[in-house]
Amino acid sequence: MIKKKKDTIKALAINAKDVGSTEVQIGLLTDKISKLSEHFKKFKKDKHSTLGLAKSVNKRKRLLAYLKRKNSDSYSKVIKQLNLRK
């Protein structure tokens, strides 16, 4: 699992200055989702952050669907690299 934001960007970037491509956005959302999941193991009653988690999961789902439509090779690479089930 990739830990830092810069490491995520570096691992998934298409070119040297890439910080906003679909692949990078999916990677950053995956990091955010894993951090929030760890947070909920300690704080089960945090309902406000639950909304943020749901929004992040849905946004990542939409971005993955977009990437699958537009560039299936990149989609399979991202899925494999981030250890996502699909």
Residue 3 has pLDDT above 90, yes or no: no
Q: What is the pTM of this model?
A: 0.86
Beta carbons within 8 Å of 66's beta carbon, 6+ residues apart: 22
Q: In Å, what is the CA distance from 34 to each residue of 16, 26, 38, 44?
A: 26, 12, 6, 15
Kindly state the average pLDDT of the residues 57-78.
94
Q: Looking at residue 26, what is its pLDDT?
A: 94
Q: What mean pLDDT comes out for the span 8-33?
A: 89
Does 84 have pLDDT greater than 60?
A: yes
Domain segments of the chain as ranges: 5-82
CA 42 to chain centre: 22
What is the distance, to the nearest Å, from the Cα of residue 71 to the centroid of all Cα atoms in its chain? 17
Tell the CATH topology of 5-82: Helix Hairpins (1.10.287)
Q: Which residue has the tokens 């560039």?
A: 71
